[in-house]
């Protein structure tokens, strides 16, 4: 399989985006989907901005803009809209190691959760006695009512300060947010209660009837409870990034030219440094093994369950875990250029992207709050006109304001998206963005390349057929010795087979290679040749023909005109290809092979893995035409290596790149598989479907909640406190439903 090195990806990215760049902003002060819409609108209005999206769950904004638009101008635009912003690249922690980043991220999140917890405990400590006194003591003496005032006021204006601050910022820009609904609702209950205290100051009985301090305090506590639970849930949703970041060690053992070893911070490692990797340590940077042999556990990075052997010339990736051996390796990519760093960026970008279905929600949310305020006013007026009391009118209006808070709508898509893409990263399945995820969920046909996708991607010696009295090991040792000077893939397959059997390999004293025919040489004074059947004596023709019908490449070992042994080499079926095809078909997806290989070899592979539709001897341009034809049945996914299949991958609704994370075309594929296991393809599609199903479930319940609860609040069936509880529970239910994706397997 052909791969694109990461430095090649970076060059491609620079060339394709030479007129624009992408900046990520950490946005603060977001409280609902309306806030998101306003920030996006402010950013989109900036000169040079091509696209701006803000993720409500992660509070990260992604802006594509012209090179002459500085990030500082984007920050000013967000601040002008009434919110805080910091360019993530300008973060003072940008120079930290991945592990330090993870620790910093965890500390920030914990600080936010701790602040929410303190605010909740403070408010609940005052609100609980307020509610108990109001509900259990009636009528009350005047001093008890003043006690309620003293308890409830700090809850509304200190515990609920954030609602008023954010509402004022929005009001300055003639807009509204979810916090506007909370602020108006709680302040209405408080103002009406203060009016009742002053209006009936001399009549404690009537005074008690007109006090609703417990309503404002109860609403604040319930909303704060919901946000505290959300904060903890969001931390668990974004935990995949922290888990990936923690894979990278903070230090490395550097070996100087004299052979002396010293421990240095990983930030000081430069390209070309020789590093020592001891048993039980993690690889510090991407590199190539110089000496030694070991087995490396790459499961946390790629999802590959079995440790992989690493010896001289093999690639190692930052964050992977060394098991028993000790090796030295040369640093090839460091810092932000490592595969692990690029994977972290890709996951963050996917979690911050916006699914097409979210655009409908954004349009609804942008007008939702002002419409609800209008409905609340009409409910209050209508209640009075229909003979209801002022108390009843106020309570119904407040209940409408509180119950309609669109938190659940704002969280429905990003909560599921963050959890789904994060879980995918843990499984070694990277989804480029929300749009790719939505397309992958609707795929009807999967087209698969053969070499390196359905097959292992490298030749393997499969048959040794001695013709004379020679044993298999004797023949293999001779053949491997003859082939040892050659770098041809078939020669390497023979040499590997001999090494695996522990056979002695002695280079020939004389060696000659004839292109397209084979090799010859002298071993222990005897001339030997290893050639294709056309160049060999015409013996064993039936056996040769049988091997060739199986799609294998056959060559013959002979000496002095006599055939000694037949060898056959083929690219074997990858371990789990047949199971993967079965899983795709069980998902209702049609599978087809598209390969440039000859028809006989392609038919053999197709029959073994269970593929019925076959396109063989197809050039890259022809693959693109096949993709176009398959679209008649619905969205098409193309699975390939990212170079030979580039036209088809680009044209397909979803391009899926197979391979290892160090050599993979992350920028050209909608979905990237970090392990050489075809079962990850149906797993990726199933995960996409599960994530999209969760998004739809979230949106359904969020819309149904508002459609059902607003009329109930308007009719007085729901009190303001019950409305606040229902609103908080709706948001929590959306988050918890999304968190179910963490168990996807």
Question: What order of strands is seen across the sheet that includes strand 321-322?
Answer: 308-310, 294-297, 321-322
DSSP string, 371-425: HHHHHHHHHHHHHHHTT--HHHHHHHHHHHHHHT-THHHHHHHHHHHHHHHHHHH
| DSSP code, position 268 | G
Q: Helix, strand or coil for residue 92?
A: coil
Q: What's the sign of the alpha-carbon dihedral 730, 731, 734, 735?
A: negative
The two tokens of residue 350 are: 């996917």
What lies within 8 Å, CB to CB, of 697 at 6+ separation is 737
Q: Helix, strand or coil for residue 262?
A: strand
Q: Cα–Cα distances in Å, from 365 out to 2, 53, 99, 406?
A: 46, 15, 38, 7
The values of phi and psi at residue 642, to 5°, are: 95, -10
Question: What order of strands is seen across the sheet that includes strand 460-466?
Answer: 460-466, 562-570, 553-559, 526-531, 518-523, 510-514
Strand 274-277, strand 327-333: pairing? antiparallel
**Distance, CA of 405 to CA of 724 (rounded, Å):** 9
The two tokens of residue 539 are: 């013996």
SS3 content of the chain, % helix, strand, coil (to 5): 55, 20, 30
Where do the H-state alpha helices sit in 159-295? 161-172, 178-199, 204-209, 213-237, 239-245
**Distance, CA of 420 to CA of 422 (rounded, Å):** 5
Q: Helix, strand or coil for residue 667?
A: coil
Catalytic residues: 449
**Distance, CA of 304 to CA of 536 (rounded, Å):** 43
Crossing angle of helices 98-136 and 213-237, rounded to 10°: 160
Can you list the pairs that 98-106 forms with residues at least 24 positions away whose Cβ atoms lie under 8 Å?
98/244, 98/245, 98/246, 98/247, 98/248, 98/319, 98/340, 98/341, 98/344, 99/245, 99/246, 99/248, 99/249, 99/250, 100/250, 101/245, 102/242, 102/245, 102/246, 105/241, 105/242, 105/245, 106/242
CB 126 within 8 A of CB 221: no
**Distance, CA of 177 to CA of 180 (rounded, Å):** 5
């Amino acid at each position: 399989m052909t791969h694109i090195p990461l430095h090649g990806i970076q060059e491609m990215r620079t060339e394709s985006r030479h007129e624009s760049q992408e900046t990520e902003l950490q946005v603060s002060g977001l409280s609902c989907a309306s806030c998101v819409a306003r920030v996006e609108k402010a950013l989109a209005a900036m000169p040079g901005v091509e696209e701006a999206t803000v993720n409500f769950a992660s509070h990260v904004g992604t802006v594509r803009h012209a090179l002459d638009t500085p990030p500082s101008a984007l920050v000013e635009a967000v601040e002008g809209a009434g919110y805080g912003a910091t360019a993530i690249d300008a973060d003072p922690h940008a120079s930290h190691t991945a592990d330090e980043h993870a620790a910093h991220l965890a500390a920030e999140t914990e600080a936010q959760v701790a602040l929410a917890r303190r605010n909740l405990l403070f408010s609940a400590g005052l609100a609980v006695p307020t509610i108990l006194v109001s509900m259990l003591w009636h009528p009350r003496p005047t001093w008890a009512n003043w006690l309620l005032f003293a308890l409830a006021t700090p809850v509304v204006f200190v515990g609920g300060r954030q609602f008023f601050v954010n509402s004022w910022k929005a009001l300055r820009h003639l807009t509204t947010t979810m916090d506007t609904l909370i602020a108006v609702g709680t302040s209405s209950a408080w103002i009406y209660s203060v009016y009742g205290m002053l209006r009936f100051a001399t009549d404690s009985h009537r005074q008690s009837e007109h006090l609703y301090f417990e309503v404002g305090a109860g609403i604040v506590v319930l909303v704060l409870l919901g946000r505290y639970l959300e904060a903890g849930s969001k931390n668990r949703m974004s935990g995949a990034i922290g888990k990936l970041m923690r894979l990278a060690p903070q230090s490395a053992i550097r070996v100087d030219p004299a052979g002396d070893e010293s421990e240095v911070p990983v930030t000081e490692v430069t390209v070309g440094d020789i590093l020592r990797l001891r048993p039980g340590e993690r690889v510090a940077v991407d590199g190539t093994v110089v000496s030694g042999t070991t087995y490396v556990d790459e499961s946390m990075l790629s999802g590959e369950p079995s440790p992989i052997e690493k010896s001289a010339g093999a690639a190692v990736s930052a964050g992977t875990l060394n098991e028993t051996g000790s090796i030295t390796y040369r640093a090839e990519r460091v810092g932000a250029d490592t595969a692990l760093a690029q994977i972290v960026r890709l996951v963050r970008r996917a979690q911050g992207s916006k699914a097409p279905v979210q655009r409908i929600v954004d349009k609804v949310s942008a007008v939702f709050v002002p419409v609800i305020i209008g409905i609340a006013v009409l409910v209050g007026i209508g209640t009075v006109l229909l003979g209801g009391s002022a108390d009843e009118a106020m309570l119904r209006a407040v209940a409408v304001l509180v119950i309609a808070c669109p938190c659940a709508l704002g969280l429905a898509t990003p909560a599921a998206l963050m959890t789904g893409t994060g879980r995918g990263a843990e499984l070694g399945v990277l989804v480029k963005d929300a749009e790719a995820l939505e397309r992958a969920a609707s795929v009807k046909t999967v087209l698969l390349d053969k070499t390196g996708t359905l097959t292992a991607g490298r030749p393997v010696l499969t048959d040794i057929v001695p013709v004379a009295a020679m044993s298999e090991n004797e023949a293999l040792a001779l053949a491997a010795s003859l082939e040892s000077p050659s770098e041809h893939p078939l020669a390497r397959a023979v040499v590997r087979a001999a090494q695996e059997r522990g056979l002695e390999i002695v280079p020939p004293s004389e060696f000659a290679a004839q292109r397209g025919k084979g090799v010859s040489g002298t071993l222990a004074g005897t001339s030997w040749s290893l050639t294709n059947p056309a160049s060999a004596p015409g013996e064993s023709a039936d056996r040769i023909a049988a091997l060739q019908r199986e799609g294998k490449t056959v060559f013959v070992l002979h000496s002095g005109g006599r055939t000694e042994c037949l060898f056959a080499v083929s690219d074997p079926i990858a371990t789990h290809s047949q199971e993967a095809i079965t899983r795709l078909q069980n998902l209702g997806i049609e599978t087809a092979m598209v390969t440039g290989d000859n028809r006989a070899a392609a038919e053999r592979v197709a029959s073994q893995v269970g593929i019925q539709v076959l396109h063989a001897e197809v050039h890259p341009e022809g693959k693109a035409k096949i993709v176009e034809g398959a679209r008649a049945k619905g969205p098409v996914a193309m699975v390939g290596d990212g170079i030979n299949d580039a036209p088809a991958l680009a044209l397909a609704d979803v391009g899926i790149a197979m391979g290892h994370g160090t050599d993979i075309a992350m920028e050209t594929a909608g979905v990237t598989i970090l392990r050489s296991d075809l079962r990850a393809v149906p797993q990726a599609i199933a995960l996409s479907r599960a994530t999209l199903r969760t998004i739809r479930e979230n949106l359904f319940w969020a819309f149904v909640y508002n459609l059902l609860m607003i009329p109930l609040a308007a009719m007085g069936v729901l009190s303001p406190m019950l409305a606040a509880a229902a609103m908080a529970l709706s948001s929590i239910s959306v988050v918890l439903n999304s968190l179910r994706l963490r168990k996807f397997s």
